[in-house]
Structure 1
Amino acid sequence: MNRFLLFLFGIAGPLVAAAQTSVPFGLVSRPDLVKVVHGTETLPNPWAGGLNSPQFSAIDLNGDQQQDLYLFDRVANRSLTFLNVASPNGGRMYRYAPEYEALFPSTLLNWALLRDYDCDGRPDLFTLAGGDIAVYRNVAGSGGRPDFQLVKDHLSYFNNPTSQGNIYPGGYNMPALHDVDGDGRLDIVTFDFNNSSVVQYYRNSSPESCGGLQFELVTQQWGGFASCATSCTSFSFNNVNCRPAGTAHTGGHNITLLDLDGDGDQDALIGRDYCPELVSLRNDGNKSEALMSSAGLNASFPSGTTPVRIANFPTAYHLDVNFDGRPDLVVTPSVFDNQDTINTTQSVMFYENTSASAVPNFAYRQNDFLQRGMIDTGESAAPTFADIDGDGLVDMLVGSTNRNNAKGFFRASLTYYRNVGSATQPAFQLMTKDYLNLSTQRYAGIRPQLADLNQDGRPDLALMVIPMRVNGTAAPTSQLRVLLNTAPAGQPAVFNPATAQVIQNLPNYIDDAPCFADIDGDGRLDLLLGTNINDQAATSLRYYRNNGAATLSQAFVLANADFGQIRNSKNVPAPDNRAYNLNPAVADFDGDGQPDLLVTDSEGRIQLFPNFRAQQGAFTPLPETFYNELLGRYQPVWLGQGRINQLILAVADLNGDQRPELFIGLESGGMVAYGVRGIVVTDAPMAPTLLTAVQLYPNPARGTATLEAPDPVRVAVFDVTGRLLYRSATAARTHHLDLHDRAAGVYVVQAETAAGQRTTRRLVMQ
């Protein structure tokens, strides 16, 4: 049986389509793609991606009057969305719903909190903008979904002409957004950016009873206390400055406001950088004037249960997460990276509020809230797939690092999931978190690749490993080590780390990202390597051809140091246009029988280059790759951004449908899963369509170009980053494109019929 795409999104050459369906190609999120079992427990959200430093907010995402969850992970700068749904076992549960993540801005950094400032019942979005606070108003969207519109790129205060300025918490501090004085308007309390020791109180002074964003600075030292550098639990009170104690503590402070004693005013929970405690301060004043004292300090909060102890920078979030209507407490680390001694598989502490009165009682329940229900291997998850046990089903290995040992050092290992399902209904069972006992090798990072490198029909194991320094930190180097499978065909794989071959002639730079694929079509697996090494300008992706040498360590020879000429999106000259953290994967995603190249980078971009063998020089990406079925449109996927952020790609056909499934390993230790839409099965020969006759001329062009089609089409023009530059308002057989204001370079012109058939052409502007 032949398999065909409705549309083949190649850039060069005529395109064809099957008449049986009008569903175009796209990658779609599949959070329930494969069942995953840990012990006897089936994970409810296996492909949610893991959590490291999440911030929690409540919001109704789908208009069903249920409070769902919005999370923003500070390490990856990633939004996550969970729906409040009925549990199969009764009650309620949270189900990962990534289709709602596209409703949130992709530019969020450091922190993001949802608070309703305009009293319309829809929480608005507050986030960092530089060191300022930006506000997105949540307006009524389609289907009851949120729609965030920027209303303030910064917040300011005004007392008088000589006392005014921006409200500036800075990058480390996360403010408390709360009605402090009880007037129904949202106020702001934040640690002072200049010295991070005292708390500033900005009262909402808007003339409206609700809905304004005007503020006045009421006091530079709310509550009369200061956080001192003497120790993690040291404070001064009565507006007294801290005593000098050597080097001042310059890290961040986060503050959460809630009424701990039921007296109607706001008490405080404070966590600080480099400290494990969450300190509570009781407010012995009132709504108008807070007053904290040493008598109200509790460094073992909450009392009567397991106190909060997180290795670094605990921050509390006060919201109901167990569906009983009482706000609980969730505490997480507020770190920016994974350089601390934190076990990031257990970094979300849940304290249930067991009190029905105005005085909460927080009882410790678990340290892996939500994490227990997902694959979370710690940090830097790197998946790969092959039949490891010889039963004919595709299994999974995941490379990752964690710090769950006694000394808190990096420990890289392989987690092995065996496929215990069937050829059409896969199911992964966790077998071991330390396959091959590699944690004893003192690696700071492992990226595995399962591939038949010696062409004997059995999967071999390649490991890009990062060595560890004596002090437990990662060295700035790497090695690509190959472990040949010595087991007979059809038997469980046998890999011996002691006999590994080291691939020569590589940059051997930290976080190099390998991908084995047949690039030149000669039947041998070549090597694509994403690298950040700066020995050559902008050479982020390198192609090493397999020359067939008998010794595998010498078989890969550099053939192209700038494969695809892939750059970042900043439109700046070299060397500042380099794409960092480039991670490649090769598969026939669009079903046209030709391999495609998929890459990720530190900006969070995921680009698909169709039929890359037919492209030369700078590859042209597909303008639209990921399809959001909830919104009914193509939508870029944002899984995080930042120089430390790694998105590791892996491809496998797990359900035997001859279509690739895509898995992306995240910095937060888990994975997300995608399937392919737009492929149809037919025994009939594929008929040509009107799209094969689309003409675009002249090409190359100077200023103008003409597109002609046999039937009316709409036209869109994209740049090579996928940014939409022009879309025609009406359909026509002939379109004259005026591109005088466009710079010289490569553009993508897309034509679409009324039936939804699409084709693309590459246009070179001189």
Structure 2
Amino acid sequence: MSKTIFFVIAICWNISLIQAQFGFEFSDSIPVEIGNDQLKFPWSGGINHAQFSTIDYDFDGLNDLFIFDRSGNQIMLFKTIEENGDYTYKYIHNAASLFPEDLRYRVQLIDYNGDDKVDLFTYGIGGIKVYKNTGNLIDGLQWEVVKEVLKSEMPNGSFSNLFVSSVDIPALYDVDGDGDLDILTFNIGGQRIEYHKNTSVENYASTDSLIFKLENECWGKFIESDVSNSIDLNSNFGPCANNGLNIPEVTPRHSGSTVLAINLNNDNYLDLILGDVSHRNITALFNDTLHANPNAVMDSLDINFPSNTTPVDIPIFPANFYLDVNHDSIKDLIVTTNASGSSENKESVWYYKNNGTNEVPNFVFSEKGFLQNQMIENGKGALPVLVDLNNDGLKDLLIGTYFQYLDPADKISKIQCYLNTGTSSEPKFKFITDDWLSLSNSGYALRMHPTFGDLNNNAKQEMILGRADGLLSLYKKTGPGIQDYSLEEITLKDYMGEVIDVGQYASPQLFDITNNGRLDLVIGKKTAGLVYYENIGTKNQYSFKWVTDDLGAIDMGNIYQTDNYSTPHFVRHEDSLHLFVGNQIGNIHYFSNLDQDIIDDNPFVAASKNFANINTGGFSSPFVSQLTDDGRYHLFVGTDLGGLWAFVADKDSEPALKLTKQDTAEKQILVFPNPSKNGIINIKTPALKKLQLKVLNSLGQVIITKELNQPLNKIDLSTYRNGVYTLLFISDSGDFTSKKVIIK
């Protein structure tokens, strides 16, 4: 057996780390309502700047919905479910594990080699990188790099990168109708469309190669303005005058265009839909039908497409996608924003239903916020907090946010409120307001982060609000209502009367760090380090004393992102102190058994720097709480995309996290050889230790279950496809550990 080694993973893990990794599982069981409607995908994490494709990811014959979000390079999957002829979507969590790890800026899924499996086109340095889909029903999705970057033959016979800007989305389309996939993309100057012809069929009588030649340097014979998105049709500028034969001097303009190739009127001549950076509209360009597609000439346009209905008006930089999203076999038009961090991010997916046919589409506006209106969505960078606002014994949900986009010069931060209208065993959240306490009018700028606690022993939850300017404000609870709060101190001060100021982006938590019955104050911030103020007052009167700006010496930055934007969350479990910290990178650092480290002022040693394999793509924010009366913990994680992921302690880890248990025998499990060339794996287990083994494939499916009763055991994976498999070892006590093996 000879295959590529896909991953190299350490195989000996500390059991406390393993318990952390497997202590929680994703759960969408808690219902969320807006008005009288229950959201279909409340815990799917939000959407900012999405790119849409379809893929049959599980090879069941049904196309599923694939979304790549430029904001944090996040991947989402919605599986198509068919029941008695009715079709629905189901959100699939952690879909990123099914795709290559280096996807960034853009992802387009399209079958280039005619095997009825969509392949993957993404950003390569200065152009396009291509992965071939080699998966199947048994082994699941598999990807093979076929081109690190596409090349194209220039008119002078040399080969260069087939240039596509990192902010552009090209059209991948069979322009000349010969069966292989051609590319239409704006030139490096950004004013005209280049047609790169795929010569696979001509050279090899097959579509399975990606060999390109720059065939036309002014495809469509139009020029886009270098200062706006206006179009000059039938242009004679540069190569446009000579049917695309010369390369003029490049004049760089504003960078950013999206191209959708589509036949809009069933005349067999290719039309275009363009989106442009800094603009809100999309423009349709229509072929004159006098020239064959390889030498197309656009002779008319619709600058407010589609003008027969509500035209696109979405700030800013629209991107267009043509696919069936309502399961009627007719392709619809989806329009999204493509300017990461600087365009609409709350209702950024516009859905135009195709009331015509695939041959003669008739796009009719259907809704803003497609999919987003079925999930918790608060713009960019969600910050979840659970607190009982109305003293009914049930914890309600507040969600802060980094910002919601308003226009190019204006962003706003709000806190959403969801009231828990369920029970102590079955929580249910109901949307109350998008702007709790009207804090968007407070002048606090962006990223408001609240924390709650009884600071004066009056059985009421005061609120300390972290602000973008690094300051904190104190609010007093004034009544039983969920919005009965009034500003007590505009700037919180310490016991000496000094203003508490952490620089930028304060993310506070009130928590009894020292376990003395008084709530201390820990504050995350933009730069590295957690700021710690000990409460030296009494239960009836808080008094915060600065201790350190670097509690635990925690730094979660890297060489690319030196800032932290830390969001700390302490939990006391079984009388032991634990800490979860979110950060700008998007993962969660977990620290266990910290009481002695607090006393001795020791650096905290992370039990995991990638807790539960959670990665939000940026600005993660964890909140752990016992939401129900069964003793199990719930973990809510705010994502960069403005929504939440929800996790619950695995039922096998009752009563809750089990983060403190140690089992030194588990460390002694040995797996060898690894990698294995013949598929035979030896497993050495501790003496007198009975374990159950489950072997999981790349889809997470259990393919082997076996009792390990001997000190030395063997498993045979030689009949399975080469790749990475997970070995899950479960003890009689319910503890488990995991190891990865590679078959090559």
TM-score after normalising by structure 1? 0.77
Q: 1:664 aligns with which of 637, 656, 663?
A: 637
* CA distance in 1 between partners of 2:604 and 2:517 (Å): 25
What count of residue pairs does the alignment treat as equivalent? 655
For residues 451 and 682 of structure 1, do their structure 2 counterparts lie closer, same or farther at Cα, with a shift above 3 Å needed? closer
Q: Secondary structure of the equivalent of 2:53?
A: strand
Aligned position for 1:604: 586
Aligned position for 2:742: none
1:278-357 matches, within 5 Å, as 278-284=282-288, 285-293=290-298, 295-337=299-341, 339-340=342-343, 342=344, 344-356=345-357
For residues 250 and 459 of structure 1, do their structure 2 counterparts lie closer, same or farther at Cα, with a shift above 3 Å needed? same
- Alpha-carbon distance, 1:402 to partner: 5.3
Q: Does 1:532 align with 2:526?
A: yes
RMSD (Å) for aligned C-alpha atoms: 3.7
* CA distance in 1 between partners of 2:490 and 2:87 (Å): 49
For residues 108 and 515 of structure 1, do their structure 2 counterparts lie closer, same or farther at Cα, with a shift above 3 Å needed? farther
Q: Secondary structure of the equivalent of 2:88?
A: strand
* CA distance in 1 between partners of 2:115 and 2:555 (Å): 46
1:639-650 matches, within 5 Å, as 639-640=616-617, 645-650=618-623
- On the 8 A contact 1:503/1:556 being kept in 2, the answer is no
Q: Secondary structure of the equivalent of 2:413?
A: strand
1:242-641 matches, within 5 Å, as 249-284=253-288, 285-293=290-298, 295-337=299-341, 339-340=342-343, 342=344, 344-356=345-357, 358-400=359-401, 409-445=410-446, 446-466=448-468, 477-487=469-479, 494-497=484-487, 499-500=489-490, 502-504=492-494, 506-533=500-527, 539-548=528-537, 555-559=544-548, 561=550, 563-568=552-557, 578=562, 580-587=564-571, 593-614=575-596, 616-622=602-608, 625-626=611-612, 636-640=613-617
Greater shift in the superposed pair: 553-562 or 649-658: 553-562
Q: Does 1:62 align with 2:52?
A: no
Q: 1:202 aligns with which of 189, 192, 196?
A: 196
Aligned position for 2:91: 96
- On the 8 A contact 2:106/2:123 being kept in 1, the answer is yes
- On the 8 A contact 1:102/1:637 being kept in 2, the answer is no
* CA distance in 2 between partners of 1:605 and 1:693 (Å): 26
Q: Does 1:10 align with 2:29?
A: no
For residues 239 and 609 of structure 1, do their structure 2 counterparts lie closer, same or farther at Cα, with a shift above 3 Å needed? farther
* CA distance in 1 between partners of 2:635 and 2:283 (Å): 44
Amino acid at match of 2:392: D
- Alpha-carbon distance, 1:657 to partner: 2.0
Q: Deviations over 1:149-180 (max 9, x none)?
A: 33322111235884211112122212111211
* CA distance in 1 between partners of 2:153 and 2:686 (Å): 60
- On the 8 A contact 1:411/1:443 being kept in 2, the answer is no
Greater shift in the superposed pair: 551-560 or 443-452: 551-560
- On the 8 A contact 2:666/2:737 being kept in 1, the answer is no
Aligned position for 2:626: 653
Amino acid at match of 2:517: G
- Alpha-carbon distance, 1:41 to partner: 0.7
* CA distance in 2 between partners of 1:328 and 1:682 (Å): 48
1:202-241 matches, within 5 Å, as 202-206=196-200, 207-229=204-226, 231-240=228-237
Greater shift in the superposed pair: 665-674 or 499-508: 499-508
Aligned position for 1:719: none
For residues 81 and 272 of structure 1, do their structure 2 counterparts lie closer, same or farther at Cα, with a shift above 3 Å needed? same
Q: Deviations over 1:307-328 (max 9, x none)?
A: 1111210110000011110111
- Alpha-carbon distance, 1:27 to partner: 2.0
- On the 8 A contact 2:531/2:549 being kept in 1, the answer is yes
Amino acid at match of 1:613: D
For residues 142 and 509 of structure 1, do their structure 2 counterparts lie closer, same or farther at Cα, with a shift above 3 Å needed? farther
* CA distance in 2 between partners of 1:159 and 1:414 (Å): 54
| Larger RCO (CA under 8 A, 6+ residues apart) | 1
Q: Deviations over 1:316-369 (max 9, x none)?
A: 0000011110111000110121x34x3x32211111111136111111111111
For residues 518 and 10 of structure 1, do their structure 2 counterparts lie closer, same or farther at Cα, with a shift above 3 Å needed? farther
Aligned position for 2:700: none
- Alpha-carbon distance, 1:110 to partner: 1.3
For residues 183 and 611 of structure 1, do their structure 2 counterparts lie closer, same or farther at Cα, with a shift above 3 Å needed? farther
For residues 511 and 426 of structure 1, do their structure 2 counterparts lie closer, same or farther at Cα, with a shift above 3 Å needed? same
- Alpha-carbon distance, 1:450 to partner: 2.5
- On the 8 A contact 1:156/1:164 being kept in 2, the answer is yes
* CA distance in 2 between partners of 1:387 and 1:224 (Å): 63
- On the 8 A contact 1:414/1:435 being kept in 2, the answer is yes
- Alpha-carbon distance, 1:197 to partner: 0.9
Unpaired runs of 5+ residues, structure 1, are 1-6, 18-22, 467-476, 534-538, 571-575, 627-635, 697-706, 715-729, 735-749, 761-766
Aligned position for 1:132: 127
Amino acid at match of 2:104: L
Aligned position for 2:76: 80
* CA distance in 1 between partners of 2:334 and 2:666 (Å): 59
For residues 613 and 202 of structure 1, do their structure 2 counterparts lie closer, same or farther at Cα, with a shift above 3 Å needed? farther
Amino acid at match of 1:118: N
* CA distance in 2 between partners of 1:163 and 1:463 (Å): 61
Q: Deviations over 1:182-203 (max 9, x none)?
A: 111111211113x111112211
